[in-house]
Structure 1
Amino acid sequence: MAYANSSGAARPTHVHPQATPGYGKRSAPDQEPRRAGDFAHLPAREALIAAFVDRLPEGAAMDAKTLAANIPAYGQAACRTAIRRLSEAGHLRMVKEHRKGDGGSMHWVTRTYFSRTARGDAWWETFLRGDVVPEARHEPPARSEAYDALASLGRTDPRMTLSAADCRELEELATEWLTRGASPRDLARELTAGLPPVVHFARAMARTRLVDKMPPERVKQPVSAPLRILECTICRTPGRPEAIPGGVCGPCRGETPPEPDYAVAPAEVHDHAAEIRAALRARERSSR
């Protein structure tokens, strides 16, 4: 039960410092809602620090030095180890991003993406490419904005009151209006303006107007994926995701780097250098 009390103890008693603008904590997308026991699978220290980081605002500094200064129970070394283990458990990655600054110029910033929901290497690799990574949800589906706009027509003009079945039938057309840039207010205005004194079939009237007054398609602007490079959580060396599993590079995992693949064997290089030196000495003697 150490974890149950740890999140409360981890809360700062003062304002946590922010990182340099553009740096610091970023929340990973599409996380599960916060609930008790989110980090119960982690050791007590990592669970406490994860709960602390989870509640930090966007852009907060979360380097080992800052964490140690704000979590009295642990020093910098312990926080560095915890950050590594949170990375290996799939809760965070350090990412270098190419971003536009306030002056309009592009520059590199380092951000620490934190995910309350543990992610595997494949998920993080997909995220680095800029792809959307939808997660399965278990909540009941919410009503769409288009459905709500149709359901509210009766409040704008009682002659255009629609039933739930009417709203479901017309929802796809209304959604297309919103996709093309119309607002719910635009939709309500166009469906209720200039009505005859009596509307006998509101659904048919709404369908006709939704089709006949459909806004033009919006010109889609190309969206470029953000340029992101993964960094080792320990030494900050950049690399491809497959070279940094768990967010930790091979040398920091204790792996021996492979021997360099020389085009020429070292012994041949030494022999060739000796031949060159001998030739130079012979030339010097002959020129005397």
Structure 2
Amino acid sequence: MAVTNLTPPMAAPGYGKRSAPDQTPRTRADFAHLPPREAAIAAYIDRLPEGAAMDVKTLAKQIAGYGQQAVASALKNLSLAGYLRRNRELASEDGTQWVTRTHFSRTARDDAWWTTYLNGDVPPERQEPESRPAAYEVLASVGRTEPQLSLSAAECAEMTPLVDEWLARGATATDVIRALTTGLPPEGVHSPGAFARRRLRDKIPPERVVRTRSVPRRISLLECTSCGMEGRPEELPGGICRTCSAAPQEPDRTEVPMELTDFVRNLRAEIRERRAQRPRR
């Protein structure tokens, strides 16, 4: 893929490319499974800055070898594959200004995800698993902090699920040890296992509330990536209306440069002229 202009043109404010949230890190193999044309155009779009112009005419000018028809077909296929969606959003409070936006995700999404995102209900980001100590190790270390609470291996194994629940609710190893070892009875602890078990149950912290990112719900209409027809999400599976989905696919061909086209045309005209000048036998 050759790019004719290293500085991509930007769209008017409020328009242009918008990157979807929570994408996987960029790699060379992101679009390797796609046909060559779709892979090349997707890779180019992926590297465009936010707000860059993404209309068919602009992309065809920027990417050498693909004309408007080829770019339009590629965008249709990328939409069906889950990488692209277009929509119209109400951009003014008085209801008079609408903008068309093109959303791109390096990570392919299904229709349900795109519908949730375009409605303004941003899907929660993936949470990486937290590194936390093993519960058995926490219990085994309690005796080093408070010798009165030295637990046997069997007692540590038995109470491991209780400590697991503490850790799942956001507590740290220090929190668990502090809860078990502070405020001990003056007469001492006569049964460390029973004492620790009771404290783990009585002092367990509340469940952690998982918050998801959200933005005000916006008025949005999905647009067919191919023809621009508006419709409800269920009417445009893959971001394509049923009419465009039923249309035959354009062949994947690279456009011939204009200079070569003119050369071939002139050559044919010259051959016809020479044939006409030959003496007839």
TM category (shorter chain) comes to 0.5 to 0.7
Separation in 1, partners of 2:116, 2:240:
17
Counterpart amino acid of residue 44 in structure 2: F
- Do structure 1's residue 41 and structure 2's residue 33 form an aligned pair? yes
Matching of residues 213-232 of structure 1 within 5 Å: 224-232=216-224
Counterpart amino acid of residue 32 in structure 1: T
Structure 1 gap segments, 5+ residues each: 1-8, 144-163, 171-221, 256-288
TM-score scaled by length of structure 1: 0.54
The aligned residue for residue 122 of structure 2 is 132
TM-score scaled by length of structure 2: 0.55
Matching of residues 244-263 of structure 1 within 5 Å: 244-254=236-246
Contact kept? 1:10, 1:49, Cα under 8 Å: no
Contact kept? 1:10, 1:51, Cα under 8 Å: no
Structure 2 gap segments, 5+ residues each: 133-171, 179-213, 248-281
- Aligned residue-pair number: 173
The aligned residue for residue 84 of structure 1 is 76
Separation in 2, partners of 1:130, 1:96:
13
Counterpart amino acid of residue 98 in structure 2: W
Counterpart amino acid of residue 251 in structure 1: T
Matching of residues 171-210 of structure 1 within 5 Å: none
Given the superposition, is the C-alpha separation of residues 36 and 129 from structure 1 closer, same or farther in structure 2, using an over 3 Å criterion? same
Given the superposition, is the C-alpha separation of residues 131 and 223 from structure 1 closer, same or farther in structure 2, using an over 3 Å criterion? closer
- Structure number with greater CO (CA < 8 Å, separation at least 6) is 2
Structure 1 segments (4+ residues) deviating >3 Å: 9-13, 139-143, 164-170
Separation in 2, partners of 1:168, 1:43:
55
Helix, strand or coil at the partner of 1:109: strand
Contact kept? 1:233, 1:247, Cα under 8 Å: yes
Separation in 1, partners of 2:246, 2:131:
49
Matching of residues 95-174 of structure 1 within 5 Å: 95-100=87-92, 107-136=97-126, 139=128, 141=130
Separation in 1, partners of 2:51, 2:100:
11
Given the superposition, is the C-alpha separation of residues 250 and 223 from structure 1 closer, same or farther in structure 2, using an over 3 Å criterion? closer
Q: RMSD over aligned Cα, in angstroms?
A: 2.9
Identity of aligned pairs, percent?
A: 55
- Do structure 1's residue 28 and structure 2's residue 20 form an aligned pair? yes
Shift of the alpha carbon at 1:28?
Answer: 0.9
Shift of the alpha carbon at 1:105?
Answer: 7.8
Counterpart amino acid of residue 81 in structure 1: S
Helix, strand or coil at the partner of 2:97: strand
